Amino acid sequence: MTEMLDARLDRALAALPRNYAGPGGAVAVLREGAVLARHAWGWANAERRVPFTPKSLFRMCSITKQFTCASVLAALADPRELDAAIAARLPRLAGPKPNALQLAHNQSGLRDYWAVAMLHGSPAEAPFGDAEAAMVIGGARSLQFAPGTRSSYVNQNFRLLGDVLAERTGRSLAEHLRSIFERAGMASAILAADTRALPDGTEGYEEMNQGGHRVAVNRLIWTGDAGLGASLDDMIAWEKHIDATRDDASSLYQRLAAPVTFADGRVAPYGFGLAREEALGRPATGHGGGLRGWSSHRLYLPRERISVVVMLNHIGDARAAAIDVLAAVLGEARPKPDASLPPPAWLGAYVEPETGIVARIEAGEPGRVKLHFASWRPEILDLKADGSAGGGARASRLVPVPQGLRLERPADNLFSTLVPVRPAAAGAPTDFAGRYRCAELDAELSVVDAGVPYAAFSGCLGQGRMELLEPLGDDLWAMPCPRALDHSPPGDWTLAVRRDGAGRAVGVTLGCWLARGLDYQRC
């Protein structure tokens, strides 16, 4: 390792605790299987003054998904052996049911069960275990899209895979995972399904509105979707294993990273619990993980044979931190937008016709726009000289076309022309206040005019709190979901009010990216 690289890495590592401030964290960098950096800072448990070390256990959350898929590939000659058992756990689902590969590639068409739990009225910090999961998953009656045609991130895809694998083989998911951990030399990694505590006492923290952090409260039982508990040293062992088996086409990671397509033959940038992404313009595979109080990201660049792992025991942008460190290793600066480009004329609100979700586009920092559409965090897109805006290979792209504004989401196989939202009249009518029932979920939406309109969900998991509605356009409203069971709230729900010929409000079509196309009829 050259002195120049040493200095760059030292600066990058020293900057992480300030740039991604919180109780503690850890980072590792490997190149060609050798460790360039193994660094931890802060506190694994601030109350007990337990330092964060490379041996501290950490909730890796959705990074678990690749290990669940690895367990399936290691145990079965053909993942399709699980198809019948998957169908049996979706007894109410009409039409074609997703198969094991569609689950592994996030192409199932199911609505995400953490988002749906909020529609059932679950409070953000409610217990959610096996019984609740089975009820929400088994209650699905329809899909968001035909399996294999689109992609949408769905956590229970991987819970289902882990559960039916255990059922098929007679071995628990924990046993299957242990065999993967042993193969990779991950000595302390475990299935830590109960999110209330880790065996070594490491805590996750959430930021308080008035500043500082407090211990995050979680009461979920996670399995194949996000249950991995691992230390930085465990993840270093995984990255070493990946590099050591890079030339073996039959190795687990090479099989996980193999090309995946949609039903129409287009390349899918997600498969087997791994994102095929782009990092500083270079092909990479990786994944992030998050729960309230925890955030992590791992990247592997196969051509450069570089791995970066970042773990933060608080809510932070772990992927951005990983890119910062990667830039230091490569000796490159993060790309910057062209600040001379003015905000485009096409800023505003649009309806995406297939999903019915409102896309809101606003100016960001000079040379950038913010797209509010599929996530609780806006997607930051760089303006281009040709009038479009976009990011990396998996990012959304906004392109002015003669028909209007085109939205391209190659990661989800969604390409459509957006429809401008008709502006709401001054003092948008709130005559749609009332109770609405969703037959799909057997759940309700209550809209109350309390001087301004509020709405709340209720169902078999409880009674959600009232949230202030924001007018988006003519009979279009946004309902925020600032907290959820999972780390990431679903983002704003789009409420589209439907009226009969006499102009009376008779229903609402509700959705967000993770759970869309739900019909509510006025009671």
Identify whether the C-beta of residue 298 lies closer than 8 Å to the C-beta of residue 308: yes
- CB atoms near residue 49 (< 10 Å): 8
Residue with tokens 């970066």: 308
How far, in Å, CA of 410 to CA of 262, rounded? 11
How far, in Å, CA of 244 to CA of 246, rounded? 6
Active site residue 296: no
Q: Single out the catalytic residue among 65, 295, 296, 370.
A: 65
Alpha helices in 438-481 (DSSP H): none
CA gyration radius, the chain: 23
CA separation (Å) from 124 to 205, 358, 482?
Answer: 16, 24, 9
User: Both tokens of residue 313?
Assistant: 């025991």
How far, in Å, CA of 389 to CA of 232, rounded? 37
Active site residue 62: yes
Identify whether the C-beta of residue 254 lies closer than 8 Å to the C-beta of residue 245: yes
Query: How does DSSP classify residue 13?
Result: H
CA separation (Å) from 256 to 69, 344, 454, 505?
Answer: 7, 40, 45, 49
How far, in Å, CA of 398 to CA of 338, rounded? 16
How far, in Å, CA of 37 to CA of 368, rounded? 33
How far, in Å, CA of 290 to CA of 287, rounded? 10
Q: Single out the catalytic residue among 55, 56, 62, 108.
A: 62
Kindly report the backbone phi and psi dihedral angles of residue 368, in degrees, each rounded to the nearest multiple of 5, phi listed first.
-140, 160
How far, in Å, CA of 98 to CA of 191, rounded? 26
User: Both tokens of residue 28?
Assistant: 């590792």
Residue with tokens 């192409």: 107
Among all residues, which ones are annotated catalytic?
62, 65
